[in-house]
Amino acid sequence: MDEACLTKTLIRLLHCLDSTVWTGSYGYGDQDHPFRHQGSTASSLNTYRMFLEIAHHLLKKGGQLGMLVPSGIYTDQGTMALRLLFLNHCCWQWLFCFINWQHVFDIDSRFKFIVLLLKKDGFTPQLQVTFNRVALTDLEKPDTIMLKFSRKQIEQFSPKSLAITELQAQRDLEILEKLYSRNTVLFDDQSQMGWQIQYAAEEFHLSKESSLFSPLPNWEAKGYRPDDYGRWIGFDGGIALPLYEGRMIGAFDPSKKGWVSGKARTAIWREIPFEGKVLEPQYLIPVETYYQRGKVLRGNKIAFMRVSSATNTRSMYAALVGDMPSGHTVAILQPAAKDVVGSLSLMACLNSFTYDYALRCRLGGLDLTYSVLSETPLVLPHRLRQTFIAEIVARLNLIMPYFALQWMELSTVDPHLTEQNWHKLWAITPHERLRLRCILDAIVAELYGLEYDDFAWILSDDPSNPKGFWRVDKEKPKELRHSTLALAAFKRLKEAGLEVFCQEDWQFPPEIGAQVGPRFISWQEQGTVAESWAECEEHARRMKEVPMPLLEKNQETSRDGKNGQDKTTQRAQLDLWST
């Protein structure tokens, strides 16, 4: 019996047992049996939810309940039924959240707990909250740190789940009011106005379905070798594809890390430099297994790391990975249209400071589940498409020959791209990547409807804020940090207006540009514009073809002329689909 079936059976048994015990009994508590608000039967049983409900059940009307429980009570999808009970049929008075940084409990320091206080019966028009406290002595002076969170605001920020958004100050409430406005739609909006996002939480499970794929060395032992397009080709013409894992994904980076050795948590990975991006996976999967899989999304896909935290440097790391399979540590998003402009525009929003701020206000745990994402605010699709934002994201993300097809599609939408050297469009130096990301952050903040002071608050350098972005580039001088320069770009946008800002190709001040290095490296400036796009077209053509099989091993190693082949000939065959 699997976990979901077992959970369903246990809850049914609890219902039956409790209704038998309570039939004919009398007391101050409810006559209706408890355990009716434990959430979806497909979710795991959590004892704290059971204790909360039975404690509420035992109260008489007007009785008060105080309890210390995990923070999931105000964030998780599985606790929504209990939240509805407490908000609609109780006067929920207090939600005091602290983070385990001082190891009050001998578990992971990132875990959070809350002190909950409510009165049975009535309704919750307003809730007093405080989040991410570190010192428990703060409990002695609650009135100085508690914020008033109205029921209207709870419903505005979480209209379906009524999850409680984590706020650090009254200023956060004011900014969130702007983010949840007519300029935005919810992540899960499937209407014509929304992104109509398709979501795949798990294409292949790395543990449960390990029989479907094999470690890279096993494939190499069979003679499989990589081409320039993310494929491994065998002697028999077989094709294997890399299986994406979370560590391989960075912000606008489809190949952040490459596997070196080991497995699971002891695996060793290396940082792959931007000027030499290749795919170095731990596992390969037969192309037939991927193509025949019913539950995968095909085409242009956005992959993001599922394991995250609101107290990490950043919480969302998303990249366009094209048509490649992924393991369960990576989740996949795809706008309904599937075109490259739409996918790149959505990714611009996801990797922005502003979206990450809104996401961190909702992220109470360590997993970016759909329930967390579904009620985050996204800029309206048509507003992003009206800018040149897709081109900027392409320059940041499409920095491998593997993405030649996407570049060709973009060039048909925006023909002026072909007037520039294709290689110079690739943002592979620290200077150009930082500059373009600052431009993106400024445009997205404007489209969210923020003012300069709002963005300055989001990017404030305040180490006392557990969810702040003060960790970004903290090893650098303040004037060279991404957060500082993004704010400078936004200031210029506010001075010039969005249209002028998009036309002027914002640059760093000379004193900053001199410190972050050159915009391009020498090989990007070699060759003519026409030659560079001819190369792009050739890569795109080769990607559409089925690769030729490699030579057999005995042919590869033969040098006596009997087989008429040697390693030079095999290299020539590899060159048929790589440059």
Residue 297 and residue 361 in one domain: yes
Is residue 182 domain-resident?
A: no
Question: Torsion-angle region of residue 65: left (phi > 0), alpha (psi -120 to 50) or beta?
Answer: beta
pLDDT attached to residue 40: 60
481 and 573 part of one domain: no
Residue 99: what pLDDT? Answer: 86
Per-residue pLDDT of the chain (579 residues; tens, 9 = 90+): 455 554 455 445 444 444 444 445 444 545 566 666 666 644 566 777 888 888 888 888 899 999 888 888 888 888 888 888 999 999 999 899 888 888 888 888 778 888 889 999 889 999 999 888 888 888 888 888 889 999 999 999 999 889 989 888 899 999 999 999 888 999 999 999 999 999 998 899 999 999 999 999 999 999 999 998 999 999 888 999 999 999 999 999 999 999 999 988 889 999 999 999 999 999 999 999 999 998 899 999 999 999 998 889 999 999 999 999 999 999 999 998 889 999 999 999 999 999 999 999 999 878 898 989 999 999 999 999 888 999 999 999 999 999 999 999 999 999 999 999 999 999 999 999 999 999 999 999 999 999 999 999 999 999 988 899 999 999 999 999 999 999 999 999 999 999 999 999 999 999 999 999 999 999 999 999 999 999 999 999 999 887 766 655 444 433 333 333 333 333 333 343 333
Do 488 and 569 belong to one domain? no
563 and 510: one domain? Answer: no
What pLDDT is attached to residue 102?
Answer: 82
Q: What was the pLDDT predicted at 550?
A: 61
Beta bridge partners of 214: 284
Give a yes or no: residue 308 inside a domain: yes
Instruction: From 148, 484, 181, select the one nearest 358 (Cα to Cα).
Output: 181
Same domain flag for 273 and 208 = yes
| Distance of alpha carbon 533 from alpha carbon 538, whole angstroms | 8
- Cα–Cα dist 351/373, whole Å: 13
CA distance linking residue 357 with residue 194, whole number of Å: 20
For residue 361, the 8-state DSSP code is H
CATH number at residue 42: 3.40.50.150
Single pTM value for the model: 0.86
Assess if residue 555 is contained within a domain. yes
Q: Is residue 19 part of a domain?
A: yes
In a 10 Å sphere around its CB, with 0-12 CB exposed, 13-18 middle and 19+ buried, how is residue 537 labelled?
Answer: middle
Q: Is residue 186 part of a domain?
A: no
- Spatial separation of the C-alpha atoms in residues 555 and 91, rounded to whole Å: 79
Task: Indicate whether 378 belongs to any domain.
Answer: yes
* 3 state DSSP class of 168: coil
Q: Cα separation of 133 and 186, whole Å?
A: 29
Q: Is the C-alpha dihedral spanning 210, 211, 215, 216 positive or negative? A: negative
Bridge partners (DSSP) of residue 94 are: 117, 128
Residue 120 and residue 226 in one domain: no
The answer on 573 and 527 residing in a single domain is no
- Please give the backbone phi and psi of residue 527, each rounded to the nearest 5 degrees, phi first: 80, 170
Quick check: helix, strand or coil at residue 333? Answer: strand
371 and 430 share one domain: yes
**What integer pLDDT is reported at residue 466 of this predicted model?**
87
Instruction: Assess if residue 191 is contained within a domain.
Output: no
Do 226 and 298 lie in one domain? The reply is: yes
Task: Please give the residue range of the domain that contains residue 453.
Answer: 197-540
Cβ atoms of 281 and 245 within 8 Å: the answer is yes
**Where do runs of H (alpha helix) occur along 40-192?**
47-58, 80-88, 151-157, 170-179
Q: Do 206 and 124 sit in the same domain of this protein? A: no
302 neighbors 320 (Cβ within 8 angstroms):
yes
- Other Cβ atoms less than 10 A from the Cβ of 549: the count is 15
The reply to whether 347 and 231 lie within a common domain is yes
Question: Which residues are bridge partners to 335 per DSSP?
Answer: 197
Does residue 183 form part of some domain? no
* Tokens standing for residue 256: 């952040």
Same domain, residue pair 562 and 529? no
How many domains are contained in the chain? Answer: 3
197 phi/psi in degrees, rounded to 5: -75, 130
